[in-house]
């Protein structure tokens, strides 16, 4: 099933898509897509739910996000374009939850930004608490999959004393959605095509099969260091084609439009504006 959250920012309601792609209101079944609900998402016939008219804004498809954990340089061809060695263990960094925004909301470049960049990624949403998980049991803790744009400010990330989090956590730098797609609809998370266009030009194209560390490995790895909780989002890395890797580099500017796609997970579209 494809779950969503719709409505004005801060006032989103839970929903689900029917077979025709129409939004159905789920708020009479569950209060929100958060917490214990993610461990046992409702299996309802969407046709029995009220249909939502129009095209409401879509929010982040999961509420109560406790942390956003990201994996860096997780595609061998992306590591090559940055000139960095292939990591021997997953590179882990965090994005602030205040960076979360809807899949089609505007992305705001912060004051002083001159090296804004894009990164289309497969996002994994945790559904059940887990710690010290084996790879064999890791995927049982997944509520669903989604798209994450790991927007970055490379100057903040690389040139201001270390810690990638600085360049990853600006407001609006974590568009997530449009949908939370349950694992039964994703036959293999390691065989999903993903792409990003900038102003209609294809910049990134890849497949999750090129990950250095697969989804199950990443979940297991993280769970050895930190408890994973319902609503936690893991951004699993990006394929080549980021602005920093181009020759010459190409960075985001006011008025740019990014469109992101992951097979089976829908599409995001963001207009870039400068603060």
Residue range 109-155, pLDDT digits in tens: 999 899 999 999 999 999 999 999 999 999 999 999 999 999 999 98
The model's pTM: 0.96
Per-residue pLDDT of the chain (275 residues; tens, 9 = 90+): 999 999 999 999 999 999 999 999 999 999 999 999 999 999 999 999 999 999 999 999 999 999 999 999 899 877 777 777 888 999 999 999 999 999 999 999 999 899 999 999 999 999 999 999 999 999 999 999 999 999 999 988 877 777 788 899 999 999 999 999 999 999 999 999 999 999 999 999 999 999 999 999 999 999 999 999 999 999 999 999 999 999 999 999 999 999 999 999 999 999 999 98
- Distances, alpha carbon 149 to alpha carbons 11, 23, 59, 137, 253, in Å: 22, 23, 14, 27, 16
Return the bridge partners of 101, or none: 175
Q: Is the dihedral of CA 254, 98, 143, 35 positive or negative?
A: negative
Can you give the three-state secondary structure of the chain, one letter per residue?
CEEEEECCCCCCEEEEECCCCCEEECCCCCCCCCHHHHHCCCCCCHHHCCECCCCCCECCCCCCCCCEEEEECCEHHHHHHHCCCCCCCCEEEEECHHHEECCCCCEEECCCCCCEECCEEEEEEECCCECCCCHHHHHHHEEEEEEEECCEEHHHHHCCCCCCHHHHCCCCCEEECCCEECHHHCCCCCCCEEEEEECCEEEEEEEHHHECCCHHHHHHHHHCCCCECCCCEEECCCCCCCHHHCCCCCCCCCCCEEEEEECCCEEEEEEEEEC
**Tokens representing 247?**
């020759």
The rounded distance, in Å, linking the Cα atoms of 145 and 65 is 14
Contact 210, 124 (CB under 8 A): no
């Amino acid at each position: 099933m494809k779950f969503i959250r719709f409505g004005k920012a801060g006032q989103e309601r839970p929903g689900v898509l029917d077979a025709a792609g129409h939004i159905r209101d789920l708020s009479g079944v569950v209060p929100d897509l958060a917490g214990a609900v993610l461990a046992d998402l409702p299996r309802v016939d969407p046709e029995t739910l009220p249909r939502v008219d129009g095209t409401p804004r879509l929010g982040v498809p999961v509420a109560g996000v406790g942390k956003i954990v990201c994996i860096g340089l997780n595609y061998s061809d992306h590591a090559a374009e940055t000139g960095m060695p292939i990591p021997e263990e997953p590179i882990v960094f965090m994005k602030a939850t205040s960076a979360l925004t809807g899949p089609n909301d505007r992305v705001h470049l912060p004051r002083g930004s001159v090296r804004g960049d894009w990164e289309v990624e497969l996002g994994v949403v945790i559904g059940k608490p887990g710690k010290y998980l084996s790879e064999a049991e890791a995927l049982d803790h997944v509520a669903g999959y989604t798209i994450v744009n790991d927007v970055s400010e490379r100057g903040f990330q690389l040139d201001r004393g270390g810690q990638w989090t600085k360049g990853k956590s600006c407001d609006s730098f974590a568009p997530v959605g449009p949908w939370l797609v349950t694992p039964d609809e994703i036959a293999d998370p390691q065989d999903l095509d993903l792409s990003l266009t900038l102003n209609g030009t294809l910049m990134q194209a890849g497949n999750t099969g090129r990950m250095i560390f697969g989804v199950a490995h990443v979940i297991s790895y993280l769970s050895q260091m930190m408890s994973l909780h319902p609503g936690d989002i893991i951004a699993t890395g990006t394929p080549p084609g980021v602005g920093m890797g181009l020759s010459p580099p190409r960075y985001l500017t006011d008025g740019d439009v990014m469109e992101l796609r992951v097979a089976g997970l829908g599409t995001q579209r963001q207009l870039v504006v400068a603060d």
